Amino acid sequence: MRFKRSSTLVVLLEHDQFVFHNFLIQSTFAANAAALDIVRRLYAWTDVDQLHKSLSGYSLSSVERGLNQLVELGAVVAEGSPAAAQDAEFERSWLWGPFAGAFHFGARGGVFVSDQDSEMMLRELAKFTPSPALHQRNPDDRPKLTAPLKPSYDEPFRTMTRRRTNRIMLDEPVGFEALSDCFLFSMAITAMLDLEGIGELPLKMTPSGGARNPFEGYVCVRNVEGMTPGVYHYAAIDRSFSLVREGPPPPFPSMLGEQEWTANAAAVVFLVANFERSMWKYHDPMTYRVIAIEAGHIAQNMLLVATHHGLVGNPTGLINTTVTEAALGVSGATRAALYAVVIGVPAPFSGDLGAIAEAG
């Protein structure tokens, strides 16, 4: 049996200690001198005898014990194991280096706080540390131009003024046409750009860095007219929805950070990044930012289309990636559900929705 250190292992310094962190599996533990000595040498597949010979002052059995412990903690992988396969997949596919990798895999989430607890914590925080200002005023002692407000606005501006997050949704169905419009105006391919020697680049109503279009759309349907409950993939090329999994999707709160308000939604759209599409062209980790920005472009169009149809689109970034990606059948180091739009029938909203549209 041969061993190799995990490619996603980083060594950090905390106080006076070295700390190992495998960012792919989120495993963190203190490392002693012997552990450092072992992983330092395991940059390529090595068997126990070779390793033992290269280390001085350790018995064979203590090297074996140390290795086993490091395998258990995820610092080292054993040849042929599922961990080694996962490690190899990362090495093969992740082109943005350890820092973007540590950020991406470290930000996959897992511990979710209830809305009530979060509000309570914020109130406590605000007592001692007031929030930074959430908008910046222009100084009064300098000339300024103030944009006028019209008495009313036409489309599309009217719809834009009416978009609002409304987490109170009625347990009622939404129509297929409204849902398919949400995808049509945000994700459908509307033209192809043929670049000689490079290939075809899809063009959509939302912009994409280098026209790499890293996002695929999935929708978990609970209550949509004309669609059996299930998980669907949307093909941007022919605007079709195809069942990935039939039957009621997992309860929405279990996919969305235990947010109970999502339970009544008719459908939840997941935007799944396919990083390899962008990595193929861009090896700079700054592309990670570009991809997050693109999710915003897509989602904003979806929210506006939902609003136009009298529905609500509630955005959420609080995704239980493990539950969600299993339900969608999405796997691999370069695939990730990054953003969700919760679609439903809104309860009448009592806030100042449309205040700008009605202004004057």
Ligand X SMILES: Cc1cc2nc3c(=O)[nH]c(=O)nc-3n(C[C@H](O)[C@H](O)[C@H](O)COP(=O)(O)O)c2cc1C
Binding site for ligand X (CB under 6 A): 164-165, 167, 259, 315-318
> The tokens of 220 are what?
């978990």
When the beta carbons of 22 and 316 are compared against ligand X, the nearer one is 316
Inter-axis angle of helices 33-41 and 60-73, to 10 degrees?
80
- Give me the least distance between CB of 117 and ligand X, in Å please: 14
CA distances from 191 to 11, 32, 206 (A): 47, 58, 12
CA distances from 127 to 116, 119, 131 (A): 17, 13, 10
> The tokens of 177 are what?
């046409």
When the beta carbons of 2 and 297 are compared against ligand X, the nearer one is 297
When the beta carbons of 70 and 319 are compared against ligand X, the nearer one is 319
When the beta carbons of 276 and 358 are compared against ligand X, the nearer one is 358
- Give me the least distance between CB of 45 and ligand X, in Å please: 42
DSSP per-residue codes, 303-319? HHHHHHTT-EEEEE---
Neighbours of 302 (CB within 10 A): 27
- Give me the least distance between CB of 119 and ligand X, in Å please: 11
Contacts of 96 (CB under 8 A, 6+ apart): 104, 275, 279, 283, 284, 285, 287, 288
- Give me the least distance between CB of 170 and ligand X, in Å please: 17
When the beta carbons of 135 and 142 are compared against ligand X, the nearer one is 135
- Give me the least distance between CB of 5 and ligand X, in Å please: 36
